[in-house]
């Protein structure tokens, strides 16, 4: 199958602070373009619309994507998934992180095809689930909101509460034999690994950072109005700082 899968949105989560990288990993250079631009370009090949989701997402407003600020700042990747599903114009949303340089079109299209009849489609790679390379239906919104109200921020804890189509390792390897789709860039050491895995000239400058353009698209650079559930926001912000930090540490994934 080639081309876009109709009726599905895509979301790139850009709300991380890149603390372990020490610089904005979304702006790392891949073949002379920012990594986030590369990721948006891949999603544009397979979905109807692309959203950039996260606090401060407007700094990437020059990209061909809708800009959506986090509806609940500080809620981590689960909050990003919640914002994506709340803001997408389609009933399903392919969610990926902004720091995944080896996204595979064949695997993404296969996941989108498998989404019918399920709340979530998530790959499993050698026993590890990949919640930031998954397809979510809008039916996940209420379970996610209940989790956020209780201060539960780990996306993996959503799966027992909804219907999930798990893509097993054998299915993944049929389309992505080296499972490179799930490589993400969190630390400077990851840059070295990425260059070795890429094995091509376009990765020679992956450790360089591109400066943000100074002129932004007049509409794409404007965040959408936050459709914020005040009760949910109050419930989340009422959680103690130590509780929130504990949940963030439990995530242990994307920075």
Domain that holds residue 230: 8-251
Question: What's the CATH number where 241 sits?
Answer: 3.90.550.10
Q: How far apart are CA 35 and CA 82, in angstroms?
A: 23
Contact 48, 6 (CB under 8 A): yes
What's the number of domains the chain is made of? 1
Say if 122 falls within a structural domain.
Answer: yes
Would you state the pLDDT for residue 34?
87
Would you state the pLDDT for residue 159?
98
Rg from Cα positions in the chain: 17
Say if 3 falls within a structural domain.
Answer: no
Say if 1 falls within a structural domain.
Answer: no
Say if 48 falls within a structural domain.
Answer: yes
Say if 53 falls within a structural domain.
Answer: yes
- Is the pTM higher than 0.75? The answer reads yes
Would you state the pLDDT for residue 185?
79
Would you state the pLDDT for residue 197?
58
Say if 227 falls within a structural domain.
Answer: yes
pLDDT averaged per 10 residues in sequence order, the chain, 255 residues = 87 73 67 87 96 93 94 94 97 95 96 97 94 98 97 97 97 95 76 58 47 43 40 48 46 40
Would you state the pLDDT for residue 187?
65
């Amino acid at each position: 199958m080639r081309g876009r899968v109709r009726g599905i949105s895509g979301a790139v989560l850009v709300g991380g602070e890149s603390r372990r990288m020490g610089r904005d990993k979304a702006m790392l250079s891949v073949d002379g373009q920012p990594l986030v631009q590369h990721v948006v370009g891949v999603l544009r090949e397979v979905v109807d619309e692309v959203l950039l989701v996260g606090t401060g997402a407007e700094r990437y407003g020059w990209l061909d994507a809708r800009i959506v600020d986090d509806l609940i700042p500080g809620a981590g990747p689960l909050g990003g998934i919640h914002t994506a599903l709340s803001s997408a114009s389609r009933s399903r949303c392919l969610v990926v992180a902004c720091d995944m340089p080896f996204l595979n079109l064949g695997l993404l299209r296969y996941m989108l095809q498998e989404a019918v009849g399920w709340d979530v489609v998530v790959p499993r790679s050698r026993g590890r689930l990949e919640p930031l390379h998954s397809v979510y239906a809008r039916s996940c919104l209420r379970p996610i909101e209940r989790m956020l109200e209780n201060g539960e921020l780990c996306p993996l804890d959503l799966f027992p509460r909804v219907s999930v189509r798990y893509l097993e390792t054998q299915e993944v390897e049929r389309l992505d034999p080296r499972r490179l789709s799930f490589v993400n860039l969190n630390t400077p050491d990851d840059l070295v690994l990425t260059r070795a895995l890429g094995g091509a000239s376009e990765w020679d400058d992956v450790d360089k950072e591109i400066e943000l353009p100074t002129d932004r698209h007049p509409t794409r650079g404007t965040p959408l109005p936050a459709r914020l559930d005040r009760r949910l926001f109050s419930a989340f912000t009422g959680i103690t700082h130590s509780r929130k930090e504990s949940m963030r540490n439990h995530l242990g994934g994307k920075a």
